[in-house]
Amino acid sequence: MATPNESRNAFEEVVPPSASASSSNPAKKGKRVPFDVFINHRGPDTKHTLAASIYDTLKSMGLEVFLDEPELELGDFIPFEIQEAMTTSFLHIAILSPKYAESPWCLAELSFMLKTGRPVIPVFYKVDPGDIRWTAKGKGVYTQAFSKHKENGRYSLEKLEDWKVALQNVTFLTGHIVKENE
């Protein structure tokens, strides 16, 4: 389970320190219903295809599903809303795509989801779990993305290692593999 400190800091190195939750809509705080499912994805890769399809299917079954674009409203403080959705969700779905690791948000979400102790179902979209597993060793499909994260110096080596471990750990969970032609 995530400790209160881990919960409070899920996006600490992704969101600039100058950003503040005070910009969220206080009238809405505490009014959201808990979500059944949280969908973690890299928008440009899957938002309007696979993630949208999973969202629509689960919603049609009567589930409360969090996918950022349809659920976030104008004026929402994004880190707060996403973290709240992950915290209240019973189940997490992580869609790992070829450019997934380029997104610090995706990596921060994945790390947090795994720390909650709630079920995580990985969907390996056009990537092989065995190849992702090598990320922790500095090899594999996400090597270039991590090199760029390291080069830009914005994220601590500890944070980068945490994200690599999260990627490695998610590959040991049973999930779905979606190949090119599916």
66-119 per-position pLDDT tens digit: 998 888 888 888 888 888 999 999 999 999 999 999 999 999 999 999 999 999
User: Band of the pLDDT at 11, cuts 50, 70, 90?
Assistant: confident
User: Band of the pLDDT at 18, cuts 50, 70, 90?
Assistant: low
Closest CA to 142 of 152, 124, 125, 127: 127
Does residue 3 have a pLDDT over 50?
Answer: no
Full DSSP string of 22-80: GGS-TTTTT-SPPPSEEEE--HHHHTTTHHHHHHHHHHHTT--EE-HHHH--TT--HHH
Residue 87's domain comprises 31-178
Q: Residue 52 is part of a domain; what is its CATH number?
A: 3.40.50.10140
pLDDT at 55: 96
109 a catalytic residue: yes
Residue 162 lies in a domain: yes
Residue 102 lies in a domain: yes
pLDDT in tens, 142-151: 999 999 999 9
Residue 93 lies in a domain: yes
Closest CA to 101 of 164, 16, 37: 164
pLDDT at 4: 39
Higher-pLDDT residue of 11, 105: 105
Q: What is the pTM of this model?
A: 0.85
Bridge partners of 105? Answer: none
Residue 15 lies in a domain: no
Does residue 2 have a pLDDT over 50?
Answer: no
| Catalytic entry in 6, 109, 151, 180 | 109
Q: How far apart are CA 125 and CA 45, in angstroms?
A: 9
Average pLDDT score over residue span 11-23:
58
**Residue 47: what are its φ and ψ, rounded to 5°?**
-55, -45
User: Band of the pLDDT at 25, cuts 50, 70, 90?
Assistant: very low
User: Band of the pLDDT at 7, cuts 50, 70, 90?
Assistant: very low
pLDDT at 137: 78
Instruction: Give how many domains the chain has, as a whole number.
Output: 1
Residue 21 lies in a domain: no
Closest CA to 7 of 66, 91, 85, 73: 85
Residue 125 lies in a domain: yes
Does residue 58 have a pLDDT over 90?
Answer: yes
